[in-house]
Structure 1
Amino acid sequence: MTNEHASLKLRHYPAFFHFWLSRVASGFAFQMVSVAVGWQIYDMTHSALNLGLIGLIQFVPAVLLALPAGHIADQFHRRNVVVVCQFFEWIALVALAGLSFAGWLNEAAILTFIGIISVFRTFENPSGRAIVPALVPEAILPRALAINGSGGQAASIIGPALGGFLYLLGPSYVYAITAVMTLISVILMASLKYQYAPPKRVPMNMERLFSGVAFIRKEKIILGVLSLDLFAVLLGGATALLPIFARDILHTEAWGLGLLRAAPAVGALLMSFYLAKYTLNRRVGMVMFASVAGFGLATIVFALSANLWLSLAALFVLGALDMISMVIRSTLVQIETPDEMRGRVGAVNSIFINTSNQLGEFESGILAAAVGAVNAALIGGIGTIVVVGLWMVWFPSIRKREKLVRDERSSE
């Protein structure tokens, strides 16, 4: 029993940390280059439209190519898919660095290379996410996903600041350093060893392309957790309104806006450390509903706050609760999805995430323009709590879920 208990510690699975280091290097590179690209484009053109194009160029392939990316993730060795995609991302970063050092880089070239990177990241992501369950036992998958999330949160907090600091030396240096980090990620991923047997190859057709959608519609638990996240993000997108709250309501400067932006990520990062050490193992369905409802309540507190420190506390709690929901949601999706379907289901999940993030910001902006930022955030928080109540009624299988282990149905 002692040996079995010891085997459930993450440190006994070096392949996972090998993978994690690769993803952290790649995540930092992406965050840093995003800052450099936005700053350089605006330096060159002073055009808000071009800044918007950067977002559009990243959003379109993430939605249009997600389903083919999922099919590829389920047809080829996922590690190799990630390696190939990251290699071409590295080529694009090297080109950005080289053209920038030579003084030949213009806005069209920047947008082109960002488009290339976005396409390959779209194909990389479903394969990357589907690798994690092959690296650790199912019993410690929630902790592995929490650690994996901590790397992403650290990159989102530190990466932009580091990219901005290095930009003082010139954009060429940012591109060069992120190219080196991406190459490190490629080398780490290429040397990753784990057991995986790709299925027999089948041609892509419409039925297989949309099989992830069909699977999610059939599996109520997966449909419930993904749709709950979709609507919670759509309604609770108060972070899109942070510049308005910082200037007009909290009466702070740029430093205050920076703190407000960082607070949710810091909360999520610290919570990920906790979840990496302590596994959620009781009434996980209700814990997820409670965390999403708490997310809505924290949004309400933020909306009503006129004090910077109370607002920071609300955003900190919001980020921490969102991490709890993310770990439970991600674990349930992974363990309830057969390995041969994880790429396609992950691709649909990525469409949900990208769509909800972008549309959530749009919805918040439109609502704020109509009724004011405070009322928009307040409506979003209340709407999130209402959605939780409805989902508890409509998806009783989630409400009754006790543990983050495979449902008995999966083994029948």
Structure 2
Amino acid sequence: MTLTYAKTLADQVRADFEILNQEINGKSLIYFDNAASSQKPKSVIAAWKYYYEHDNANVHRGAHTLSARATDAYEGARDKIAKFVNAKSSQEIIYTRNASEAINLVAYTWGWANLKAGDEVILSVMEHHSNIVPWQLIAQRTGAVLKFLEPNREGVLTVEQFKSLLTSQTKLVSLVHVSNTLGCVNPVEEITAHAHAQGAKVLIDACQSVPHMPIDVQKLDCDWLVASGHKMCAPTGIGFLYGKRDILLDMPPFMGGGEMIADVFLDRSTYADLPHKFEAGTPAIGEAIALGAAVDYLTAIGMDKIHAYEQELINYLMAALMEIPDITIYGPKGDRAGLAAFTIDHGIHANDIAAMLDQDGIAIRSGHHCTQPLHRYLGINGTARASVYFYNTKAEIDNFIIALNEAIAFFKRAIA
């Protein structure tokens, strides 16, 4: 029987992603590894290429035309990002290599300057390693204490448990908005309000939310928010930190060097205004411009539209996965983001499933997804993870489910 599908958002944008129009091992590529990194539309690649072919020069200090054009494009992209997340000013957007660098920036500037022995930092067991390791290092240096929220039975952080950990000693809360393993959407707006009532600052890891749903930093009222470009249709090597202007002004520089200075004397230096105080050295100019192009692309589609379509896809995927008796799916069964991490009974390893699916041209992720503490908390070594984006289709999900069932059957026969 040949299935028919209604026209969708994916049909409108699919031609923009040339990489998806290829075969892997003789099969049409099905890319379900979007939580790790998204694909890039032609307009983003073209923006990166145009800079290097037409405007390649260093930014800010050049007096010639190429430098002026490069600077306009580079700072124009910052303006687009600020508008995309509804920051009050582009001065609140700091370019970083990725979200990991953005978190480290906050840890080694604000954290080192403000945390002391006995102060508490609240994280969760579902955090990406990039939102655990920097705080471990700062805690070792300052004597601050790390406390960890645990998800409830549905795999979501609750406000009630957060309030039970919050004390007058809590100085920082740093939490993931959407878990890259559980797929849960955590109540960060409510958590932020309670943290602020206690005088604590809040950092939100939005790597899995900024590319997939509308984000308003003023509504969230977070003090910092981080995201990676490569998960939102932009190149690798570029991300951003949003920070409230008054907090950024009080933070010391992250790295010293060119671009972040006002004046340098042999015995002292003064620093540039925001946001350049935190951007030492020649930046990733082409990548930042391409990130601006990615923001243009997502904005033209509409984040509400992207989110609604992804919800349709993940509901379809979850319903199909739950029909397979050999699978355990982690995270909420209801409201969730566009990813599903799962294990398979009979001792079938996630890596083996991923390798078998690759033979059918299907790309998924397997392993601990940089969330080893969460996997230990769940009592498992790793999971297989399928993650969708707005260019994916229900037909791809159907083919994935067929291939997954065939792979499970193959390994069950091999084990028997």
User: TM-score category by the smaller chain?
Assistant: under 0.3
| Structure 2 length-normalised TM | 0.24
Task: Work out which of the two has the higher radius of gyration on C-alpha atoms and give 1 or 2.
Answer: 2
| Structure 1 length-normalised TM | 0.24
The structure where strand makes up a greater share of residues is 2
Higher normalized contact order (CA 8 Å, seq sep 6+, divided by chain length): 1
The structure where helix makes up a greater share of residues is 1
